[in-house]
Structure 1
Amino acid sequence: MNTPRRFLPSTSLLAAFEAAARTGSVTMAARELSLTQSAVSRQIKLLEEQLEVELFARERQSIRLTPAGAAYAREIREALRKISTASFNLHANPRGGTLNLAILPTFGTRWLAPRLPKFLVQNPGITINLATRLTYFDFRTEALDAAIHFGPPDWPGVEMVLLRSEEVVPACSPELKKQYGFRSARDLKEVPLLSISTRPDAWNKWFSMQQVDDGSGQAMYFDQFATVAQAAMVGVGVALLPTFLIQEELTSGKLVLAIDRSMESAERYYLVWPAERSTHPPLRAFRDWLLAESGADR
């Protein structure tokens, strides 16, 4: 990395600037950093001289970010957060055994989380940090090592391994089924059809499999399976849900099959990661364990 030294200010200068930018006050920044006001003012001035850019407009006893300073503050705040997170992770696990994993919310809470203790027992030196992501993202701009992905195997610029398929069923509350007495797929068009916004054509595919034309019905869209399942349980409508994610509700009777017609989704669940992280020890350990766990389900 051959960045000129003037473009790599010390963290002490950046911390003083960020605190003053966020609080809008040299006094408050000094109090936060346990420094004197003159020390904070001096550090900000040194940063401006190093960058050759005015970051604050000084007006009597107050300061105000310049447009350039406001833009710089946003980026510096994120950079300092990443440095702080990396330092915390290293302190918590000096061997560097941290895996930053993006998960799908319901898959993470219903399938992955109950199994994680087993992985952590088997791999005591590894820490896993979880972050929710619903769609594709750019690994180059996210501090993430891998992600659980549902969809076609078309994520550009990554390596991936297949985890599992899924079977979806039309599910609803027992009360709704009793009220409408569903007998055929066509009967479901009489009630609201609950859908995930990332799968807008799922119901049409299901109706097509049942040889029912125009399966659009009265669609209601949600952004997560957890809210769709909850809406179905309280009788809002019928939801097309993966059986492996609602097994508890089906077993307890909170959800029932509106009619017994399942469909295997064309998409699959994958573990994906950028090629440069493929040899990261925590990722390798997690990948092997996850394949064994998902293989047991299959």
Structure 2
Amino acid sequence: MRDIPPLNALRVFESVARLKSFSKAAEELHVSQSAVSRQISLLETYLEVQFFHRDRAGIRLTEVGQQYFDGIRPAFERIVIATRGLTAQVDDEPLRIRVYSTFAARWLMHRLPKMQKAHPDLRIRITTAVAPVDFGAEKVDASIQLGRGEWEGLDSQFLFSDEMRPVCKPKLIAGMPTGRKPEDVLKHRLIHSYYRKQDWPEWMASAGLEYSIEEDPFMLPSSLLAYQAAQDGLGIAMAQTRMVEQELRAGTLVYFCEHTLTRDLGYYLVTQPDSPRESKLTLFRQWLVEQIG
């Protein structure tokens, strides 16, 4: 005797027997009523029995159908209990967000206390990396990434554009006339970030200036260090304007000139479709958009 019938058909049978209706089972399972009927016929043919009496009043279980339903119902109930327990455990875990270190330190971290106040049950665990996210290989619920919003098979929420403008210590421009031009940056040391090597060349090109990175540039491992070097008076750094908002408000950094480059790239919140953490991701997504707005 074959011990395990087709599981999809078995699931359909459990739903029909429990609800005592083909139409209600179809609604619960999000399939057509004819699909439910096909699965029941498949199961009856497979087991060589008849599970339901069909008449004008509706359907009712045969004696063997009732016996079979009584036998499998506890198994389905245990599955429901186990699934609810697992879901509750997953829901209780922190939301795992993967970001660039500069984004975390300069934009996200100092805003998190506001989020904790607004959503005390929403816990966040931050990890940092530069490489594109791989949801299949990493235990991550969402990633904030720079790009054009084109990640195949993933959902993306636009946050803000990649806008660049040179910044420096206020003392560096003390005594200089207002209305400084882009070419005036060439009179000073330019601070480069290793992972954003093209920022200076692209900004220069957008200002109509010819420029190539010198043979031995003042290159630092990250934008975080580049901004710090500018604060310490070591030169001019090319800043992502959203990442230096606190320093500009505090006056520890100032814009060197007015010229700004907005690239055709932006920061996006990238997630998997139909994530089991979708309810918490929705809260986090809405909070991010509120902060940006």
TM-score, with length taken from structure 1: 0.60
- Find 2:112's aligned residue among 106, 113, 116: 116
Structure 2: tracts of 5 or more residues without a match = 1-85
Partner residue of 2:200?
203
Write the distance in 2 (CA, Å) between the matches of 1:232 and 1:128: 31
One-letter amino acid of the counterpart of residue 208, structure 2? Q
- Percent same amino acid among aligned pairs? 28
Deviations 1:104-140 (A, max 9, x none): 2232233222222232233333221111122313111
Partner residue of 1:58?
none
Write the distance in 2 (CA, Å) between the matches of 1:139 and 1:277: 11
One-letter amino acid of the counterpart of residue 219, structure 2? Y
Write the distance in 1 (CA, Å) between the matches of 2:210 and 2:159: 33
Q: Which sits farther off after the overlay, 140-149 or 191-200?
A: 191-200
Write the distance in 2 (CA, Å) between the matches of 1:106 and 1:157: 26
Alignment pair present for 1:107 and 2:103: yes
One-letter amino acid of the counterpart of residue 200, structure 1? K
Write the distance in 1 (CA, Å) between the matches of 2:287 and 2:113: 12
SS of alignment partner, residue 92 of structure 2:
coil
Write the distance in 1 (CA, Å) between the matches of 2:277 and 2:91: 15
Residue pairs, 1:37-116, within 5 angstroms: 95-116=91-112
Contact persistence 2:248–2:254 (CA under 8 A): yes
SS of alignment partner, residue 126 of structure 1:
coil
CA gap 1:147/1:209 in 2 versus in 1, 3 angstroms? same
Write the distance in 2 (CA, Å) between the matches of 1:100 and 1:200: 29
Write the distance in 1 (CA, Å) between the matches of 2:248 and 2:114: 25
Structure 1: tracts of 5 or more residues without a match = 1-89
TM-score, with length taken from structure 2: 0.61
CA gap 1:151/1:278 in 2 versus in 1, 3 angstroms? farther
Aligned residues: CA RMSD? 2.8
- Find 1:253's aligned residue among 242, 251, 258: 251
Partner residue of 1:133?
129
- Find 1:190's aligned residue among 160, 181, 187: 187
Write the distance in 2 (CA, Å) between the matches of 1:252 and 1:288: 28
Aligned-pair CA distance for 1:95 = 4.5
One-letter amino acid of the counterpart of residue 100, structure 1? R
- Find 1:243's aligned residue among 206, 227, 241: 241
Contact persistence 1:173–1:254 (CA under 8 A): yes
- Higher-Rg structure is 2
Point out 4+ residue stretches in structure 1 off by more than 6 angstroms.
179-182
CA gap 1:131/1:261 in 2 versus in 1, 3 angstroms? same
Deviations 1:10-63 (A, max 9, x none): xxxxxxxxxxxxxxxxxxxxxxxxxxxxxxxxxxxxxxxxxxxxxxxxxxxxxx
Write the distance in 1 (CA, Å) between the matches of 2:217 and 2:173: 18
Aligned residues: 205
Aligned-pair CA distance for 1:270 = 0.3
